[in-house]
Structure formats: C-alpha cells, structure tokens
Amino acid sequence: MSSLGFESFTKKIYIKAPLEKLYWCWATPEGICSWFLREAVYVQREGQERKPKKFISKGDRYTWRWYNWDGEETGEILQANGKDRIEFSFAEFCRVTVDLKKEGDLVLVALTQANIPTDEESKMNLHVGCSNGWTFWLANLKAYLEHGILLHETKKDLTKIPMASFEFVNM
C-alpha cells in the first residue's frame, strides 16, 4: 500500500455509462458544462476559441467558471488523448489527471491531483478542499450520467453567504 500524504490524492468512482460519453463530459466545453461548470472557455494555441462540441487538445488554455463561486480557474490542457486520459494544470501549482478505464458495462474514473504544495494553506485549500470538491463532483457526474439529475446548486445564489463553500455540500 502506498502511503498517504499531502502532496497528492486520488479519487475513484465507477460509472455505468459508455467510455465515449465520459470522455465527452471531460473533453468538450459542452460536456464539462453539462455536469460541472457554468462556463468553460478553451482557447487553442492559435488563439481561436474552441467550439462547444469540439474536443480539447494539448496546449489549449482554459478558463472555468462555476455556479456559486465568483472566481475563475485558468490553466492549460497538458494531455488529451481523444479516448481515455486528460491531464490539466489546476490551482496554479497542481496537475490533475483523469483516467477512464472500461470494466464490463462500467467505467472506472480515476482522478489524481498532484504537485500540491505542503504549506499549511495549501494543505487546507488544495488537499482537503479540492479532495472534498472532487469527491462531490465525481458523485455529481455519476448522478448525471446514470440518473439524469444534477446535485449541485444552480438556482439559489450562495455567494453572499460568507461560509457557504465550507458548509454547503453542493456548491
């Protein structure tokens, strides 16, 4: 067994859906907004914005915006193989890898966030916070693909509640 630490974490979930559909959910602007984001903008190396139905590619730059969070996340697509693996920079320092593996009628989704700094603020925000966040979002993806429902809050504005991101489980 590998040891646990604050430098990285892995979250896994089985989802009953076609591998191609799962890849689409991660690798197109339309797909990632269907279960995760309010808005996703991908800009190709040549400077063109990627169309909603088009697959992302290595070198694309992204800007993500969520419901109920005023900030945005920017980064770069480090790998997108068109089938079962995506890797992107995240939270300035980190790398997130999403691997998809077909197992019968299920797909194992394995998400690893690595390169997490080990200062106290990063331990709290990038390890504990992101680990909790990805746990929810992977469950949301499963609910969406298997049952056609979304668990995150899109109707009620929680941004005015000071501790919302620490108290609400469906941000």
The string of pLDDT tens digits covering residues 55-75 is 999 999 999 999 998 889 999
Residue for token digits 């299920």? 106
What Rg, from alpha-carbon coordinates, does the chain have?
16
- pLDDT mean over 18-24: 98
Which two structure tokens, joined as six digits, stand for 46? 């040549």
Residue 78 has pLDDT above 80, yes or no: yes
* Per-residue pLDDT reduced to its tens digit, 117-152: 999 999 999 999 999 999 999 999 999 999 999 999
Q: How is residue 68 written in tokens?
A: 């109920």
Quote the CA–CA distance of 37 and 29 in Å, as a whole number.
9
Residue 1 pLDDT exceeds 80: no
pLDDT band, very low/low/confident/very high, at 2 (cuts 50, 70, 90): low
Average pLDDT, the chain: 96
**pLDDT at residue 104 is higher than 90:** yes
Q: What are phi and psi of 72, to 5 degrees?
A: -145, 160
Tell me how far apart the alpha carbons of residues 100 and 15 are, in angstroms, rounded to a whole number: 10
**Tens digit of pLDDT for each residue in 153-163?**
998 999 889 88
The yes-or-no verdict on residue 164 having pLDDT over 90 is no
Contact 128, 134 (CB under 8 A): no
Distance from C-alpha of 67 to C-alpha of 58, rounded to nearest angstrom: 26
9-167 classified as CATH 2.120.10.30: no
Query: Would you state the pLDDT for residue 170?
Result: 87
Q: Where are the domains of the chain?
A: 9-167
Share of the chain above pLDDT 90, in %: 88
Tokens of 69: 């969070």
Neighbours of 160 (CB within 10 A): 7
User: Which contiguous run of DSSP H or E holds residue 67?
Assistant: none
Report pLDDT for 165. 82
75 closest CA partner among 56, 64, 62:
62
Q: Which residue has the higher pLDDT, 2 or 72?
A: 72
pLDDT at 166 over 90: no
110, 137 in Cβ contact below 8 A? Answer: no
Residue 49 DSSP class: B
